[in-house]
Chains A and B, each alone.
Chain A
Amino acid sequence: MATKKLLAAATGLIVGALAFTACTPPTPNASSTASTAQPTSVSVMWNQPMYSMNNVTTFGNATANANIVYLTNDNWMYYDKGLNMVPNKSYGTYEKTSDSPLTVKMTLADTATWSDGVPVTAADVILAYGAQSGLFNTVTGDDADGLYNEDGTIKDVGAGKVYFDSSSAGLALIKDFPIVDGKTVTVTYSKPFADWEQYMTAFGAGLPAHIVGKRALGEADPTKAAEAVLNAFKTKDAAALSKISNVWNQDWNFTKMPDDKDLVVGSGPYTISDYKENQYLTVTKNANYKGEHTASIDSITVRYNEDPMAAVQALQNGEVQLISPQATADILTAAKAINNVEVYTGDEATYEHVDPTFNNGGPFDPKTYGGDAEKAKKVRQAFLLTIPRQTIVDNIIKPINPNAAVRNSFIVIPSASNYATVSEANGMGTTYANVDIEKAKSLLAEAGAKSPKVRILYAKSNVRRQQEFRLMKESAEKAGFQVIDNGSDDWGAKLGDKSYDVSFFGWQSTGTGVTESDANYRTKGLNNFSGYSNKDVDALFDELQTTVDPAKQTEIVSKIEKIMVDDAFGVTIFQFPGVTAYSKALSGIDPVSISPTIFWNFWQWKIS
């Protein structure tokens, strides 16, 4: 009974105390509403998280990394909307001082500064060159036992062994060590190289030499550290280069905010300020940035989600202001239905192409006609004439990109400035302008091929490819071809194995360089899966490799393409369509087809 009374009393006391307390408990906030100018920010949705800030290693080479590197680092030049190369004078200037031997002189500007205040120096250029050229490696890439741990990580190569995990065909041509004079670096190519200007970005896509030096060689003073790196390359000091290569290969690979802030030092308008694994990455204005690309928005956050519908709904809910999801007609409809959102549709970097096989004993192989190349060519032409290119574009691509047009060039991207010239000169547009069943029939009759069987290889589970296949099949059968569905989920592995007569799939362009297509069309080229071989094309490609003048390049490319169209090598169909949607509060968005797509002009973005 006593305890009961006690408890009752205690309760009464507490309740009484509360009742008689005149004051109310304090409440939080009140401070935040009186705000100073809030920093501006914009959120962008991207499908894959960044995983390496060194995007020139073989495994770090991905768009997800390239975007962030682009936001946080300046470079010698960038591509504009028309895919023209625009030098960034606030980073440095470069000029070709001689054609023979090809010599390029680059001078760093005084405004080029790393975000920790250290100026960009020749050592940074040399580090980029030395690491990517592969000329300093003492171990080769396919030497597996020497390089990789059992779990697949790159090993610390042993003392004295040098291995930079990168390879650049262009920089490998600079066999003589560059001449360094203060902020000027002069490089000499051992033979003329057509895409030297495209490869200028390679000299800027680098890690800060002073931080590499600090981490690899233990030199804390930035000037001395950078110099030590430069000297290591100059003297081919294997012991030092070995340590440098280990740091260069491994240290910049991170998937969350690194503890060591040295790793986020960059030379660009923004610096990484926060990175939550698999969630988002934020870049904030770099206070030490002195270049031309000063941004107007204080911070850009890239949020990661790969689901296209989630991107659209996040845009609608105001969580992100800019999205570029995988394009389908449904996504486009959903994005267009949102108020206050601007939708942009355009080309992506991948293009679809149809290639008959020349060397499998099938209907397009001269062997089938007793070695009569002319007959085989007529059958190829007949087949290509049946491909309903315009219908495919109208039915499959235009619902997503209303401005889509048939692509008429094997080598040049439609948004590039020399596309018109090349596509006119090669004759693809006129030869295969319309489906011509009658002409196809007569060509087949001339070749004496009676209802040839055509096995078509494509990505079987891909809806877009299925639709294309149906349209092609229907049309080709009208002309008398027997079309066999050879579609496979394993199509990538089947390329070049001669088990099909026609394949269609996408090639992805990574830049405007002309040497890129070399392997696709050269005799026994690595990507020449159809067994095409033409000595004139090979010779022209040899010439193209060493032609530095852009006008001359266009001329050679036109010649190559003309021969290929005359040979009935194949046709290209369309550029993959892309959808970009952004809040109307955001302005200045103008995506290009190649990397860094939506980000290329981030310094022109404005938010209201």
Chain B
Amino acid sequence: MLRFLLRRFFLALGTLLVLSVLVYFMVDLALDPLADLRQSTSPNKADLVARRVALLKLDEPWWVRYFDWLGGFVRGDLGMAWRTQQTVASQLQGAVTTSISLVLSATVLALMLGIMIGIVSALRQYTGFDYSITLVSFVLYSLPVFWVAVLLKQFMAIGMNDFLDNPTLNVPVTTVISAVFGLFWAGALGGSPRRKILVFAAATLITGGTWAFIVFSGWLDAPRLGFFGVGIIGFAFAVIITMAFAGLNNKRALYSALTTAAVGLGVYYGLQWLWFYVPADFWQIVLLLVSAIAVAMLIGWLWGGPDRGVSMRGAVIVALIIAVMTFVDRVLQVYPEYYNSSMIRGRPIATIGAQTPNLNADFWMANLDRFTHLLLPTVALVLISFAGYTRYQRGSMLEVLSQEYIRTARAKGLSERVVIVRHALRNALMPLASIIPVDLVAVIGGAVITETIFGWSGMGKLFIDSMQNSEIDPVMAYVMITGALAMTANLLADLLYAVLDPRIRVNA
């Protein structure tokens, strides 16, 4: 194991070194730091050119500059973006944080959505549902992000803000969208034609009805979930989660989930008082979340019985859902104030930037503001990247389902739920272990086009801007960091795989 790690480590070092030489040479060839001065008519142009040549040592061959750079790099000095005289280290600090906050939520969302839809798609293989999902995911996969971004801004920001200004019910659009939801649920839940028709009708009516209620009740002016909203969502999920992971026959699991929902609802009520008197901050929320998980585990353990793990897991998931709902509800409570703020001017959904300038916001409003800014880029990224996960998960699920042991499990009379959740799902998730680390690392690499169009200055934009400014140091820092992380991620994926799958051994 140690030998394996050491070998990989030295291999990675060598690769990085070669990478740095190649990239430095090519970037140096491509960049022209004097480009802007060539068009200048400034009277002191000769002096400016001389200074820049001296500054960047342009009179020396590229390899001299490379060794200068390498010398600094190995000593931890990443160099300087000479045009703005900022150290690369300080540039990276801001860029990495921005990239993570922008891309992380999108990646996690895309993963969850992609896996779920992929599994359902596999279970309904060769049905209309499966074909539709395949079609949609290929269409999304091939969409160029800059185009999606412009459309999203036009419809989900500008159009949505116009709509919020004067909400009306557009009957044809609502009908079509409700019908699409109806078809989705009918296809996803499957069953006999009669059941499908029932599901379709119910889902269509519920979607359309909910939307009509939202528009007509004035809910959009002061949206919130409220005590009943959180309650309904909490109890519904308690039942659904139990159904999926334990089965409703497991009374202990059901009771522990329901108890968690009830306790959560009580806590929701109490928190309204807490937050009224004690201003919230990040660490308080983290603390609350951790205690929610702890309480849920305790509830699960107390109800437990012989199969404690299942009850505890269900309770924790329910607790998390209620915690998120409580948080969302509290954030939504500041919406009217936010909407009427002089900085928002009644147009809450933003098309650029990471925050509204000069918004005098408390913790909750800052979060709402962050959300309205994150909305569009996140949707854009999710739309484009979730398609890949769907295909991947569908493939791996189908492969597992066709194996002998699944047939054996069915043959010995296990319920379909147990076969899928306990036997198939776990193995079908394993191949993902090799792509998740790599994708999470790509998060740090940033999303160039999305960042530029939505005005988030993350890693991708840092890279492009530095290229345009002919600043080689930040470009090299970017290449080195993403290169090193990519190698780490691959190593991590290999190790993770070995841990998850006992058939694979890590050996030198």
Complex interface: chain B residues within 8 A of A282 (CB):
357-358
Q: For chain B residues 50-81, which have a beta carbon within 8 Å of chain A?
A: 50-57, 68, 71-72, 77, 79-80
Is B35's CB within 8 Å of the partner chain A?
yes
Complex interface: chain A residues within 8 A of B347 (CB):
317-319
Is B412's CB within 8 Å of the partner chain A?
no
Q: For chain A residues 514-543, which have a beta carbon within 8 Å of chain B?
A: 515-520, 526-527
- Identify which of A286-294, A307-315, A364-372, A472-480 touches chain B: A307-315
Contact with A along B430-458 (1 / 0, CB 8 A): 00000000000000000000001111010
Closest chain-B Cβ to A308's Cβ sits at a distance in Å of 10
- Among B150, B161, B259, B455, the residue within 8 A (CB) of A305 is B455
Is B263 within 8 A of A151, CB to CB? Answer: no
Complex interface: chain B residues within 8 A of A167 (CB):
44, 47-48
- Identify which of A28-36, A84-92, A108-116, A562-570 touches chain B: A28-36
- Identify which of A388-396, A448-456, A501-509, A597-605 touches chain B: A501-509
- Among A141, A150, A314, the residue within 8 A (CB) of B71 is A150
Is A168's CB within 8 Å of the partner chain B?
yes
Is B238's CB within 8 Å of the partner chain A?
no
Q: For chain B residues 265-302, which have a beta carbon within 8 Å of chain A?
A: 265-266, 269, 272-273, 276, 299, 302
Q: How far is the CA of A141 from the CA of B461 in the complex (A)?
A: 32
Is A152's CB within 8 Å of the partner chain B?
yes
Is A507 within 8 A of B39, CB to CB? Answer: yes
Q: How far is the CA of A495 from the CA of B457 in the complex (A)?
A: 35
With A150-B71, A301-B358, A314-B351 as known contacts, state yes or no: A277 contacts B94, CB within 8 Å: yes
Is B276 within 8 A of A28, CB to CB? Answer: yes
Is A492's CB within 8 Å of the partner chain B?
yes
Is B94 within 8 A of A508, CB to CB? Answer: no
Q: For chain B residues 33-55, which have a beta carbon within 8 Å of chain A?
A: 34-35, 38-48, 50-55
Q: How far is the CA of A299 from the CA of B360 in the complex (A)?
A: 14
Is B303 within 8 A of A4, CB to CB? Answer: yes
Is A608's CB within 8 Å of the partner chain B?
no
Is B337 within 8 A of A29, CB to CB? Answer: yes
Is A436's CB within 8 Å of the partner chain B?
no
Is A306 within 8 A of B42, CB to CB? Answer: no
Complex interface: chain B residues within 8 A of A255 (CB):
84, 86, 90
- Among B263, B336, B457, the residue within 8 A (CB) of A277 is B457
Is B41 within 8 A of A303, CB to CB? Answer: no
Is B85 within 8 A of A279, CB to CB? Answer: no
Is B467's CB within 8 Å of the partner chain A?
no
Is A430's CB within 8 Å of the partner chain B?
no
Is B399's CB within 8 Å of the partner chain A?
no
Interface centre among B57, B161, B357 (most CB of A within 10 A): B357
B262 to chain A: closest residue by CB:
A11
Is A18's CB within 8 Å of the partner chain B?
yes
Complex interface: chain B residues within 8 A of A39 (CB):
342
Is B153 within 8 A of A313, CB to CB? Answer: yes
Q: How far is the CA of A302 from the CA of B457 in the complex (A)?
A: 15
With A144-B55, A508-B41, A527-B41 as known contacts, state yes or no: A41 contacts B343, CB within 8 Å: yes
Interface centre among A143, A280, A490 (most CB of B within 10 A): A280
Complex interface: chain A residues within 8 A of B84 (CB):
51-52, 59, 253, 255
Is A148 within 8 A of B457, CB to CB? Answer: no
Is A510's CB within 8 Å of the partner chain B?
yes
Is A417's CB within 8 Å of the partner chain B?
no
Complex interface: chain A residues within 8 A of B54 (CB):
141-144, 147-148
Is A519 within 8 A of B41, CB to CB? Answer: yes
Is A142 within 8 A of B341, CB to CB? Answer: no
Contact with B along A15-51 (1 / 0, CB 8 A): 1011001000111110011010011010100000001
With A4-B303, A313-B150, A317-B158 as known contacts, state yes or no: A151 contacts B53, CB within 8 Å: no
A305 to chain B: closest residue by CB:
B455
Is B355's CB within 8 Å of the partner chain A?
yes
Q: How far is the CA of A398 from the CA of B424 in the complex (A)?
A: 66
Is A493's CB within 8 Å of the partner chain B?
yes
- Among A28, A153, A490, the residue within 8 A (CB) of B32 is A490
Closest chain-A Cβ to B474's Cβ sits at a distance in Å of 12
- Among A11, A21, A276, A508, the residue within 8 A (CB) of B355 is A276
Complex interface: chain A residues within 8 A of B369 (CB):
none
Which bracket fits the contact residues of B? 35 or more
Is A329's CB within 8 Å of the partner chain B?
no
Is A32 within 8 A of B355, CB to CB? Answer: no
B84 to chain A: closest residue by CB:
A51
Closest chain-A Cβ to B18's Cβ sits at a distance in Å of 23
Q: How many A-B residue pairs have CB under 8 A?
A: 222
Q: For chain A residues 564-581, which have a beta carbon within 8 Å of chain B?
A: none
Is B364's CB within 8 Å of the partner chain A?
yes
Complex interface: chain A residues within 8 A of B345 (CB):
318
With A150-B71, A152-B56 as known contacts, state yes or no: A492 contacts B355, CB within 8 Å: no
A301 to chain B: closest residue by CB:
B357
Is B272 within 8 A of A26, CB to CB? Answer: yes
Q: How far is the CA of A508 from the CA of B45 in the complex (A)?
A: 13
Complex interface: chain A residues within 8 A of B80 (CB):
151-153
Q: For chain B residues 139-173, which have a beta carbon within 8 Å of chain A?
A: 150, 153-154, 157-158, 161
Is B35 within 8 A of A518, CB to CB? Answer: no
Is B302 within 8 A of A492, CB to CB? Answer: no
Q: How far is the CA of A52 from the CA of B82 in the complex (A)?
A: 12
Is B257's CB within 8 Å of the partner chain A?
no
Is A304 within 8 A of B455, CB to CB? Answer: yes
Q: How far is the CA of A282 from the CA of B168 in the complex (A)?
A: 37
Is A7 within 8 A of B55, CB to CB? Answer: no
B268 to chain A: closest residue by CB:
A25
Complex interface: chain A residues within 8 A of B265 (CB):
18
Complex interface: chain A residues within 8 A of B51 (CB):
58, 141-142, 165
With A147-B54, A153-B80 as known contacts, state yes or no: A314 contacts B352, CB within 8 Å: yes
With A38-B342, A317-B157 as known contacts, state yes or no: A152 contacts B55, CB within 8 Å: yes
Is A507 within 8 A of B41, CB to CB? Answer: yes
- Among B45, B47, B154, B457, the residue within 8 A (CB) of A527 is B45
Complex interface: chain B residues within 8 A of A83 (CB):
none
- Among A253, A303, A518, the residue within 8 A (CB) of B85 is A253
Complex interface: chain A residues within 8 A of B79 (CB):
151-152
With A52-B85, A316-B158 as known contacts, state yes or no: A505 contacts B39, CB within 8 Å: yes
With A28-B364, A152-B56 as known contacts, state yes or no: A508 contacts B303, CB within 8 Å: no
Interface centre among B54, B154, B299, B355 (most CB of A within 10 A): B54
Q: For chain B residues 330-375, which have a beta carbon within 8 Å of chain A?
A: 333-334, 336-337, 340-343, 345, 347, 349-355, 357-358, 364
Is A274's CB within 8 Å of the partner chain B?
yes
Complex interface: chain B residues within 8 A of A168 (CB):
44
Q: How far is the CA of A305 from the CA of B133 in the complex (A)?
A: 36
- Among A150, A318, A493, A515, the residue within 8 A (CB) of B72 is A150
Is A59 within 8 A of B85, CB to CB? Answer: yes
Is B272 within 8 A of A25, CB to CB? Answer: yes
Is A3 within 8 A of B302, CB to CB? Answer: yes
Is B83's CB within 8 Å of the partner chain A?
yes
| 26 sample A-B contacts, Cβ–Cβ < 8 Å, listed by A number | A3-B303, A11-B259, A18-B265, A25-B269, A26-B272, A28-B364, A51-B86, A52-B84, A52-B85, A142-B53, A142-B54, A144-B54, A151-B77, A279-B355, A304-B455, A317-B347, A318-B161, A319-B350, A350-B39, A492-B32, A493-B38, A508-B39, A510-B41, A516-B41, A519-B41, A519-B43
**What are the 8 closest A-B residue pairs judged by CB atoms, nearest first?**
A25-B272, A278-B457, A144-B54, A51-B84, A305-B455, A14-B266, A492-B38, A38-B342
Residues of A within 8 A of B (CB): 3-4, 7, 10-11, 14-15, 17-18, 21, 25-29, 32-33, 35, 38-39, 41, 43, 51-52, 58-59, 141-144, 147-148, 150-154, 165, 167-170, 250, 253, 255, 274, 276-280, 282, 299, 301, 303-307, 309-310, 313-314, 316-319, 350, 490, 492-493, 495, 505-510, 513, 515-520, 526-527
Given contacts A38-B342, A318-B161, could you give 11 more A-B pairs where the C-beta distance is less than 8 Å?
Answer: A3-B303, A15-B266, A21-B269, A150-B68, A151-B473, A167-B47, A253-B84, A274-B358, A282-B358, A313-B158, A515-B43
